[in-house]
Structure 1
Amino acid sequence: MKQTKYILTAEMLGSVLISLIIIVLYESGALLPGSFSDNANAEFLAVTFMEIITICMIPLSLKLFKFKKISLSLKNDTNRGLTKWGTIRMAMLCVPMMVNTLCYYLFGFNVAFGYMGIIGLICLAFIFPSTSRCVNETQTEE
């Protein structure tokens, strides 16, 4: 169980670190923001796509372990199931967060991407892989 907790924590912290690296690179001037700001159609499509992805992934990731098949997988094969489904759940929040962070700078500080990235970061607090959460999510209900 501890190894699974460390894997999930590393995935989460790695994603946050990648987002911070993107922020530092653009804010320090190492990379120039606004590479795609002149293409309004691409910006509209990217905002629309990322809004749909972000809005759909948040509730789905928070309720993922309540689905019957996944719940049974977590209870029957505790460590492997938690590693597999925990990684999927982490990716459901972390990948859109990182993409939104990158798009915020690529499209010239479009605040929609910034807000969605921040919302993704806040949602990570609800799935932080603490030891008690890992145990509670894999326990069988008597």
Structure 2
Amino acid sequence: MSVSEIISATHTYALGLDKFDPKLALSAFAVDAVWDATPVGLAKYEGHEAILDFFERDAEQVKDQFHIITNHIVHFDSETTAHGTNYVFSEGHTNGGAAFKAIALNEDTYVHTDDGWKIASRVISPLTPPQMEGFEA
């Protein structure tokens, strides 16, 4: 059991988004993962194909962005499952000039796979009112 591997998965997700590399971002997730940002006004995606589709649309629409993920708390439920939280601060601009910003809480579950620890589910909830007008991905 490795907290550092779980934290690395969350950072890989952010790096993939910020480098406009959807496959790198997706590599942080289990094949049957759920990514749910309905609490911040986006959608819920289930499985690699749907999550990759969203990450690709994001990469096409966004001009610049960054994600800072911090304050990780991880609890191991077994040798192969865990859950935890972390904070995310994201800001950027779309190709159309709209600005967006979100300060949110990621509530995650994790699973240990043959490829190491992966995010099994992520629910993104706002900590401050999100500014998502013009973000259509």
TM-score clears 0.5: no
Larger helix proportion, structure 1 or 2? 1
Bigger-Rg structure (1/2): 1
Q: TM-score, normalised by structure 1?
A: 0.25
Q: TM-score, normalised by structure 2?
A: 0.26
The structure whose RCO (Cα within 8 Å, separation 6+) is larger is 1
